[in-house]
Amino acid sequence: MNRTKIALSLTAALALIPMTSSAGTLENVVKKGELNCGVSTGIPGFSATNSKGVWEGIDVDFCKAIASAVLGNADKVKYIPLTAKERFTALQSGEIDVLVRSSTWTSSRDTSLGLNFAGVNYYDGQGFLINKKLGISSAKELDGATFCIQAGTTTELNLTDYFKSQKMEYKAVTYDTSGQTIDGFKKGRCDAVTSDASQLYGLRLKMDDPNSVMVLPEIISKEPLGPVVRQGDDDWFNVVRWSLFAVLEAEELGITMANVDAQMKSDNPSVKRLLGTSGDAGASLGLDAKWAYNMIKQVGNYGEMFDRNVGKDSPLNIDRGLNKLWNQGGLMYPMPIR
Amino acid sequence: MAIYDIKEAKPAPINNRGLVFWLRKNLFSDIKNSLLSLFCIYFLFITVPPALDWLIFSATWSGSQEDIVKDGARWIFIIEKFDQFIYGFYPENLHWRPLFVAALTVAFVASVKLLNNIKLKIVIILLYPFVSIVFIHGGLFGLETVETNKWGGLMLTVIVAAVGIIASFPIGILLALGRQSNMPIVKTLCVGFIEFVRGVPLITILFMASVVLPLFFHDGIDFDKLLRALIGITLFQAAYIAEVVRGGLQAIPKGQYEASESLGLSYWQGMILIILPQALKISIPNLVGSFISLFKDTTLVLIIGLFDILAMVTLTNSDSNWLGYEVEGYVFVTFIYWIFCFSMSQYSKSVERRFNTELK
C-alpha cells in the first residue's frame, strides 16, 4: 500500500516539473509564450493584488509592458511573488526572467551577484512624514523634533548622518519592529517618522486622519529602484532596458494609451521611429516592429503607469518629484531611440 | 409490625443548594479565593464588554469604506477580500474545484469511518489523493491547469498541512521501525536522518528548499516551489512522527514481540498485525498534537513567498485602496485557525474513544 502511494505521489510530482532549456532568455520567453516576472509579496502601489486577486502596481505594469513588447500581449505574465531574501536567487536560478520588485540599484548587487540592473523605473529615497501640528514645511526646520525609529536599520543611520550634516539634533523613541514604530507615530509619541518616501504615502493613508500628517519634500538618501536581469544575457538585457526607455520616450513625445493609434500617422520622426513606422528599432532588439506600440496601447506610457498606480489617480497620491521627466525637472531621461 | 411511611426527602438547607451555595463553595470559600474571584470578575468586566463591542456591536458589517462611522471592527474588509483569504489567486470561475475537493474530503473521512469492506477502503484511500490533486491542479481529463503559483489562502494552508500529515505518516513509521532495527546500516541512516532533521528549525529547511536548492539545478529542471516546500515539510514532519511512534513502540511490552515471533510471524507480519496497532493506538494523542502543531507551522511558508492564509493578511493590506486593516485580518485568521485546530483535537478524541479497547 505504501509503495503504491509513493509511486502515485512521484507521478504527481513529475507532472509538476516544467522543463526549461538553457537558450537565451528572450528565446525562452517567446517559446514559453509567457513572461515569468518576479514581484513583491505586497508593496502598496508597486506590486499588490486588488480585491479580485489581480496583480496591480507600477512594477506590475512594467512586467506587462515587457510582455506586450516581447509577446504582443500584456496578459501573458506569470507573477512570481518573492520575499526580499529569495528574490535574487530566483533570478539567478532562472525561476524568473526579470525581477521588478522595488530593488535598489547598488554597486554590490550589480557586481557580485551576477545580475544587471536594466535601468531605474522609480527614484525613491528616504523622506519624512510629520505631524502637521509641528507647523513646518521643510526638513531643515526639524531641529529638536522627536522621531519614532526602528532600531538598527539603515534608515536610522541615514537620519543620524543627515542631522549631523545639518548641525541639527533630534530626540529618538526607538522600537523593535516597523509596526510598532508606525503605531508610536499614530499614537502621537513622536513628531515624525522616516522611511522610504514611497512607503510614507502608504503610511499616511493608515492614519486615523490622513490630513493631519504630511510628507516633507526633502529626500535624504538615494534609492534608485529598477528591473533586474541575469548578467551575461545581453539580448534580454537590451529588451528590458529599451522597454523602459520606450515608455519614458512615449511620455516625452506625448503618446498615450488613448492617442497611440492616431500617432501612428504622425510625421514626427521621433514618433515614427518609436512606433516602428520607420527605422528598425524593433528588429534590432529581436522584437516586432510594433513592440513599443503594443506597450503603449496595452499598458500606457510611464506617466500613465505612475499616475494610475502611485500618483495623482491613486489613493497614495505620491508627488512625482524626482520621477518627473528630465525636461520637467526630474531625473527620468530616456536615451534616444534612433 | 410497625409500618414505616416513606417520607419525602427534604430539600437541602438553603445554604447548601442553589446559586448562592455554588457561589460560596466555588468562588468565595475563603478570603483568598474571594479576592481572587473579585479580581477575575473585575478583569472580565473591563475586557469582555469592550471586546464584544469592537467585534460585534460597533462593527461595520456591510457597505463600503465610506460607511464606516463607528469605532468597531471593519468586517467589510474581510467580506471584500474573502475570496482571496480562502482561495488565493485561484481563478474565480474555477472556485468550485477546491470546494468540490473539500466536499470530497468530508465524504472520504466519513466513508473511511463507516465502511466495513477493507478492500473498498484501501481503494478509496489510494484514489482520494490522486483525485484531489487532479481536481485542484487540473491538466488531466480536460480540466484547465491551475499552476501552483495561483494557489493561496486557506486552501494552500490546508493543502500543505494535509500533504504534510498524510505523506509524513508512513515515512515516519518506517523511520521509527528503522531506528529500532537490528540492521546497523538501516539503523544508522534512520537515526542520522531523524537527529539531523530534528536538529534544524523548519525555517532553515524551507529556506534550503526555496533558496539553495534551485541553485543546484541551474539551467536544468525548474522544480516547482510549492513542491519543494512540500517535500521539505514532509521530511521534517516525518522525523517528528518517527519519534512519536518510537515512543509507542517502546511502550509495548517485550512479551508482545516475543509472542509474535513464537507464533512464527515474519517481521512485517508481526509488526503490522500485532505491534503497530497497539503502538499507534497509544500514540494517538501525541500524533494529533504534532499534526496540530504542523498545521500551525505551515504558515512559515510565507517566508518563501507562498501565500497561506496568514500571509494573505499582509498581501490584502497592501492594496492601496484598502490600507490599514491588519487587525481585522489577524482576528479573522485567528478565528479560522482556532476552528481548524479545535476540530482536529475533537476528532482525535473521538478516534481515541473508538480504538479504546482497554477495560476502563
Radius of gyration of chain A (CA): 22
| pLDDT reading at A13 higher than 70 | no
Q: In whole numbers, what is the pLDDT of chain A averaged over residues? A: 87
Percent of chain A with pLDDT over 90: 47
Cβ-defined contact of A15 to B314 (cutoff 8 Å): no
Burial label for A231, CB within 10 Å (0-12, 13-18, 19+), is: middle
The 8-class DSSP code of residue A238 comes to: H
Cell numbers placing B1:
409490625
Give A93 to chain B, closest Cα distance, Å: 5
Work out the pLDDT band at A10, boundaries 50, 70, 90. very low
| pLDDT reading at A9 higher than 80 | no
- Listed by number, the residues of chain A in 153-192 with a beta carbon closer than 8 Å to a beta carbon of chain B are 179
**Is residue B302 within 8 Å of residue A40, measured between CB atoms?**
no
Task: Give A80's contacts in chain B (Cβ within 8 Å).
Answer: 149, 305
Mean pLDDT of A9-25: 51
Contacts of residue B18, defined as CB under 8 A and 6 or more positions apart, other chains included, come to none
- What is the C-alpha separation between B56 and B71, in angstroms, rounded? 11
pLDDT of the residue at A236: 95
pLDDT of the residue at B77: 87
- pLDDT tens-digit profile of B304-356? 888 889 888 888 888 888 888 888 899 999 999 999 989 988 888 888 887 77
- pLDDT tens-digit profile of A136-163? 888 888 888 898 887 777 788 888 889 9
**Around Cβ B192, how many Cβ atoms within 10 Å?**
10
Cell numbers placing B217:
539545478
For the ranges A83-87, A241-245, B85-89, the one whose mean pLDDT is highest:
A241-245
**Longest CA span, chain A:** 76
pLDDT of the residue at B335: 94
Which of B78, B34, B27 has its CA nearest to residue B55? B78
Determine the Cα angle at B242 with ends B240 and B246, to 5°: 120
Cβ-defined contact of A41 to B315 (cutoff 8 Å): yes
**Is residue A296 within 8 Å of residue A337, measured between CB atoms?**
no
pLDDT of the residue at A87: 87
Look at the block and give the residue holding cell 543611520.
A157
| pLDDT reading at B260 higher than 70 | yes
Mean pLDDT of A314-328: 91
β-pair type (A223-230, A98-104): antiparallel
pLDDT of the residue at B217: 67
- Distances in whole angstroms, Cα of residue A282 to Cα of each of A66, A236, A238, B278: 13, 13, 11, 73
| pLDDT reading at B114 higher than 90 | no
pLDDT of the residue at B1: 64
Cβ-defined contact of B305 to A1 (cutoff 8 Å): no
Contact with chain A for residue B221, Cβ under 8 A:
yes
Beta bridge partners, A126, equal A196
- pLDDT tens-digit profile of B215-252? 776 555 567 888 888 988 999 999 999 999 999 999 98
Work out the pLDDT band at A4, boundaries 50, 70, 90. very low
Mean pLDDT of A164-176: 88
Q: Which amino acid is at A82?
A: L
Cell numbers placing A192:
515624525
Beta bridge partners, B260, equal none
pLDDT of the residue at A230: 93
Determine the Cα angle at A273 with ends A272 and A277, to 5°: 50
- What is the C-alpha separation between B348 and B350, in angstroms, rounded? 5
Lowest mean pLDDT among A146-150, A317-321, B208-212: B208-212
- Distances in whole angstroms, Cα of residue B302 to Cα of each of A46, A280, B311: 19, 45, 6
Which of B31, B132, B151, B170 has its CA nearest to residue B89? B151
Task: Give A51's contacts in chain B (Cβ within 8 Å).
Answer: 80-81, 84, 319, 321-322
Contact with chain B for residue A330, Cβ under 8 A:
no
Q: Please report the number of interchain residue pairs, chain A to chain B, with beta-carbon separation below 8 angstroms.
A: 138
Lowest mean pLDDT among A252-261, A319-328, B16-25, B89-98: B16-25
- pLDDT tens-digit profile of A39-59? 988 888 999 998 888 899 999
pLDDT of the residue at A17: 43
| pLDDT reading at B68 higher than 80 | no
Higher pLDDT, B223 or A238: A238
**Is residue A15 within 8 Å of residue B139, measured between CB atoms?**
yes
Look at the block and give the residue holding cell 535574487.
A88
Look at the block and give the residue holding cell 505612475.
A306
Beta bridge partners, B153, equal B308
pLDDT of the residue at B221: 58
| pLDDT reading at A239 higher than 90 | yes
Contact with chain A for residue B359, Cβ under 8 A:
no
**Is residue B172 within 8 Å of residue B283, measured between CB atoms?**
no
Cβ-defined contact of A42 to B318 (cutoff 8 Å): yes
Contact with chain B for residue A14, Cβ under 8 A:
no
Look at the block and give the residue holding cell 510628507.
A215
| pLDDT reading at A174 higher than 90 | no
Higher pLDDT, B60 or A65: A65
Higher pLDDT, B321 or A9: B321
Mean pLDDT of B154-171: 91
Task: Give B120's contacts in chain A (Cβ within 8 Å).
Answer: none
Which of A7, A5, A12, A10 has its CA nearest to residue B133? A12
- Listed by number, the residues of chain A in 253-312 with a beta carbon closer than 8 Å to a beta carbon of chain B are 309-310
Q: In whole numbers, what is the pLDDT of chain B averaged over residues? A: 85
- Distances in whole angstroms, Cα of residue B316 to Cα of each of B81, B86, B100, B210, B313: 7, 12, 25, 23, 5
Work out the pLDDT band at A11, boundaries 50, 70, 90. very low
Of the residues A86, A113, A203, A312, the best mutation for testing chain B's interface (the one with the most B CB atoms within 10 Å of its CB) is: A86
- Listed by number, the residues of chain B in 160-199 with a beta carbon closer than 8 Å to a beta carbon of chain A are 167, 170, 174
Cell numbers placing A146:
522627536
Could you tell me if the ipTM is greater than 0.95? Answer: no
Cβ-defined contact of A86 to B221 (cutoff 8 Å): no
- What is the C-alpha separation between A95 and B210, in angstroms, rounded? 11
Task: Give A82's contacts in chain B (Cβ within 8 Å).
Answer: 305
- pLDDT tens-digit profile of A104-147? 898 988 998 889 999 999 999 999 999 888 888 888 888 888 98
- What is the C-alpha separation between A41 and A48, in angstroms, rounded? 7
Cell numbers placing A304:
500613465
**Is residue A228 within 8 Å of residue A117, measured between CB atoms?**
yes
Cell numbers placing B182:
537490528
User: Rounded to the nearest 10 degrees, how much is the dihedral formed by the CA atoms of B63, B66, B67, B71?
Assistant: 120
Of residues A22, A49, A82, nearest to B305 (C-beta): A82
pLDDT of the residue at A262: 93
| pLDDT reading at A3 higher than 60 | no
pLDDT of the residue at B246: 92
Determine the Cα angle at A155 with ends A154 and A157, to 5°: 65
Question: Model pTM?
Answer: 0.82
**Around Cβ B135, how many Cβ atoms within 10 Å?**
20
pLDDT of the residue at A14: 44
Higher pLDDT, B71 or A106: A106
| Residue A226 DSSP SS3 | strand
Q: Which amino acid is at B232?
A: G
- Listed by number, the residues of chain B in 310-329 with a beta carbon closer than 8 Å to a beta carbon of chain A are 311, 314-324, 326
Of the residues A40, A49, A58, A88, the best mutation for testing chain B's interface (the one with the most B CB atoms within 10 Å of its CB) is: A49
Task: Give A94's contacts in chain B (Cβ within 8 Å).
Answer: 214, 218-219, 222
**Is residue A322 within 8 Å of residue A221, measured between CB atoms?**
no
Cell numbers placing B207:
529556506
pLDDT of the residue at A74: 94
Contact with chain A for residue B342, Cβ under 8 A:
no
